[in-house]
Every structure is written in structure tokens, then in C-alpha cells.
Amino acid sequence: MISVIGGTGPQGLGIAKRLAIAGKPIIIGSRKEEKALKIVEETVEELKDYAIAEIKGMSNEDAAKEGDVLIITVPLAAQKPTLEGIKEFYSDKIILDATVPLETAIGGKPSRFIDLMEGSAAERTASILEGSGAKVICAFCNISNSHLANIPEDIDCDCLIADDDNEAKEVASEIINKIPGIRTIDVGILEKSRIIEKITPLLIGLNIKYKSHYGGLRVTGIPKLDE
């Protein structure tokens, strides 16, 4: 079971919908269970023409407890309190962290990046969860909310991932590659998340400049992970 922590926001909900359509059972987590249940009801109605997998709504705490793989989709300001609130449920699980340190966290522009003491948001997550056995992967950072919401169109974008654990990255890739159009590319160790996360404000800036919603990234000359 895949749990999307903070799954009622645009990115989390988009990921949840795409994976449910792809046949992956999903738990949508929220700070308030009632909100998660309401969003699930609306989502099931919206996707009634698709043969979707089971979608459940829970509090973030219950979603973290029940999920085998957790996807973190919260703003930077909510990252630390969210993780600390459910830290006891992360033991030995795979964590896909989509958090990006954007200047919006301090009232700035979404096209600007904040440098964190830990180096990146994903490394910050790994620091918070140190000792839990959790395997933290930087993922989904360069996939826009608009792309995710543009169902049923394929997503014309590569998903860059980084982590120190190759087996965890294989699991993450299998999940991400279920979404039509996306190709997952392993860029290396978790420290590379410092580069991946900086791509997000660049793409946001390009979308603003060219009045688009679907700017994405394709890396050429790189084979798929399973080739």
C-alpha cells in the first residue's frame, strides 16, 4: 500500500490519482481525517470512468502507519512538523520525498530556491528520520502539479530520483514508471537531490515566462533503469 502524506494538496492528490488509475492501492493522508475522507469521495466520483485501485482516506499518522511506501508531498514549512508527527511509523520504510525548498515558504517567489543547512529538503528528511531505518529518496520534485492533474494525458517528463540505496530506488522506479509518459532516471546518491530540487524553481520560472503550465524535463541519451 502506498500512502501519500499531505495527499490532499495539488501535488499529492495528482500523484494519488495517477497511481490509482495505474492500479496501485492508495491511502491519502491529511492533517485532518475528515478532509482526507472528503477528498477521497470526490476523487472516486471524478475517476468513476476509470478502473481505479482502492483509495482510502486517513489522518497522516494512520496513513504513515498503514503504508508500506510513503510519499511526502507537503510544503517546506510543513515538512519538519509533519515528519516529526509521524516519525514512529517510518521504521525501515521507503520514503519518496517531493519537498522542494522554494522561497514561497518565507513569502518570496516560487521561482527562487532556499538553501538549507542540510543541503536539500530530502537530506533534511533523512536527518529528521535518522536511526529509523527509513530509506529516503528524492522523487517527484520536477513533475508539475499541472502535469499530474492533466488526466488522461501522458506526462511528458522524466522523473529524477536520488538515494544511497539502490534497492529502494528500484522500488521507487517501479512505482513512478506506472504513470504513463514518465521515465524515471536515477541520478545517484541522495546528495544529488541538491541539484534535482533546484530544477523545480527553474521550471516554474520557465512556465511563468512562457505562460505555460506543462514545462518539463527530458534527459536524452540515457537508457531506462531496467535496460
Chain centre distance of CA 206: 21
Q: What is the pLDDT of residue 153?
A: 95
Q: Is 115 exposed, middle or buried (0-12, 13-18, 19+ CB in 10 A)?
A: exposed
> Could you give phi then psi for residue 184, rounded to 5 degrees?
-85, 135
Which one, of 194, 91, 105, lies nearest residue 141 by Cα? 194
pLDDT score of 224: 58
Q: Which residues contact 185 (CB under 8 A, 6 or more apart)?
A: 158, 159, 160, 161, 219, 222, 225
Q: How far apart are CA 202 and CA 30, in angstroms?
A: 29
Cα 152 to chain centroid, rounded: 19
Report the b/e string of 139-156 with b at 16+ CB within 10 A. bbbbbbbbbbebeeeebe
CA distance 77 to 42: 27
Structural domains of the chain in order of their starting residue, each with its CATH number: 2-209 (3.40.50.720)
Distances (CA, A) of 130 to 44, 88, 111: 36, 12, 30
Q: How many CB atoms lie within 10 A of CB 68?
A: 11
CA atoms within 13 A on the CB side of 196: 32
* Tens digit of each residue's pLDDT, the chain (227 residues): 999 999 999 999 999 999 999 999 999 999 999 999 999 999 999 999 999 999 999 999 999 999 999 999 999 999 999 999 888 898 889 999 999 998 788 788 888 888 899 999 999 999 999 888 999 999 999 999 999 999 999 999 999 999 999 999 999 999 999 999 999 999 999 999 999 999 999 999 999 999 998 989 999 987 754 44
Three-state DSSP class for residue 20: helix
Phi, psi of 127 (to 5 degrees): -70, -45
For residue range 125-167, what is the model confidence (pLDDT) as tens digits?
999 998 889 999 999 999 999 999 999 999 999 999 999 999 9
Contact 188, 173 (CB under 8 A): no
Q: What is the pTM of this model?
A: 0.93
Residues paired with 137 in a beta bridge = 96
Do residues 27 and 40 make contact, with C-beta atoms less than 8 angstroms apart?
A: no
